Structure 1
Amino acid sequence: MVNHRLDTLKTGLVEEARRLGFAAIGFAPAADDPLRAARLDQWLGDGFHGEMQWMADRADVRRGPQSMWPEARSVIALGMSYAPPHDPLALEGDPEKARISVYAQGRDYHDVLKKALKGLARWLVAECESNGTEVALKVFVDTAPVMEKPLGEAAGLGWQGKHTNLVSRTHGSWLFLGAMYTTLPFAPDEPHSNRCGSCNACQDACPTRAFPEPYRLDARRCISYLTIEHKGPIPEEFRKPMGNRIYGCDDCLAVCPWNKFADQAARHAAFLPREELVEPRLKELLTLDDAAFRAKFSGSPIKRIGRNRFVRNCLIAAGNSGNPALLPQVRMLAGDADPVVAEAAAWALAELGGPRAAEEAADPS
């Protein structure tokens, strides 16, 4: 395909991506990057992936686009904005409320991005068929062994900040990322330069000190990992720092100064928060059985961790709340069939004052 035709196709692709709800799009070469691969190897070698064995199991194809698909010539990196309409840190320390990460307060981003990416892929295939151009492509959202953040940086969407997440000058830290690999040799965009400078706000904000140094994350210490990926009891050293966070953590993202430039108008409507997830009450969440949990979080990414892990997180928040009004619910969970839930309930009871305090809360007279 001659260059001017590729340029025209690229322009049309950008326009179609915007129409489909993508706030950011950029193009990068599909060749593997030895530096990115070396950083991945070091991260895995240090054990920073914790229980996420799937990171190590497919490290060979995660090293770069052509390691997965040798025929790939270009990467199209895309982002959808989920810029929050409210302060993600507003509920810190609230004894009655729980904190759910901004990204999980709306619809499941996997479904939204995958649908839009497939729509963009259909458009690209149709355009190529109309002028007799052969094309092959693959689309990815999070679940495939694809390094979306460094690819987003290479494609000019932003840069990987000291908190290791992508930061955009236009959208701050609030972008869901997807990628399309294609056999078309699109002209690459300029990689984004790093603009963190001397700022260490994200490093200072982390309650569990999950960053051994800037640009490196030890997932085993990260509250997002602990509340979502970690399956067993929460290690004792992280329970107090968790505060009232029950699914994910926004602290390192929320304090980034670049968020003041986040384009609220670019936010995808699907990611507007559900009202009941903005300020959820711990008392109600502690009563969820499996059926109620599935019903409440239908269409939400929260559903994938299951009722037991979710209630475990809520019990840690209850123990940190200092709120004796939660004791009846906590005490009921001390006999839960799941041993991890029961252990978390016993810990929360001890933190809140034990069975005697529960009796006094039930009968304040």
Structure 2
Amino acid sequence: MDSITQAVLGAALQGTLLGRIQGRRALVYGAALATLPDLDVIIRYADPVSQMTYHRGFSHSVFVLTALAALLAWLVNRAWPDKGYTLSRLFLTFWLVLVTHPVLDAFTVYGTQLLWPLHVTPQSWAAVFIIDPVYTVPLLVAVAYAAVRGTHARALRFMAVALVLSTTYLGLGLASRTLAEHRFQAALDAKGVTVSEVRAVPMAFNSLVWRVLAKAPDGVYYEGVSSLLDRQSPEMLRLNRNLSLAQVLANDPLHQRLRWFTDDWLRYDQVGDRLVVTDLRMGTPGNYTFRFDMARKGEQGRWQTQQPAVHTVSGPRDLFDGQALRLIWRRIVFQQPPLPLAAWTARIATPGQGQVE
């Protein structure tokens, strides 16, 4: 999630648990501690694939953060023995403030390595968009109230209620995702389409309208949109992942790492003389957040792998495109006219690849 959300979540947690002892300072301490896992962004890697796939790694591990919480609790208890702290309460507070950061990140689609150093696919529960005001605003209001009025009993209750509401919202997001996936699967079944995997991801700033992806065994995938308020089947496109192009990168370790990190939700396109690899999980149709140039075709027509670079030539790069956002928000309620999925996807597709279903 965004840094503001992580900060107010940490402030609310530490304020609720230690506000009676630390006063308003608990809000500041909690906000600072909660942002600590994201300091891994200061580490610079040689290429954008490494930058993407090593973020939310060791600094987001529940094992690392549990050890850090234990160390901090011991240090604070030793340095200030007469403040009224107990070691167990300090540990619980620091542990919750630290560990809820990567757990909340795991509720987004990006991918969080909660179990680092175990080499398992990063957790990507995709219950909320990376910025969601419905989750953040109650926490922000509660923390602001405590900051202005002080950490008295009413403020502590206010923050506790905000924490319950925000946690409930995450649960509703998971339920909404499951419903969107079931609806999409039912629509595919009605068409007689067999797929191996279906996953839904929330679209911009809400958990009501979902972009849904489905893999077919032959390298085809389906991309569509489903709203919780829909009365008709979701609209969808039949597209090609172009897996034959992936053979160029068969021995590339960075490509293998990208496949692992994204759970192989990748698409391959030849754009000019470059091989572009797209992470299909994040963005909107035709406007994906992560695209990488990973090979180049030489003068003799042979592909050569290269150090990955961010692909910026084709397709829009602005997530906050005003016209697209207005259409997406309208789509929450109105299914007709449908979103222009074919036109959006054509911005990166080879002509003739996209087929409306």
When the two structures are superposed, what TM-score results if normalisation uses the length of structure 1? 0.28
Larger RCO (alpha carbons 8 Å, 6+ apart): 1
TM-score scaled by structure 2?
0.28
Higher strand share: 2
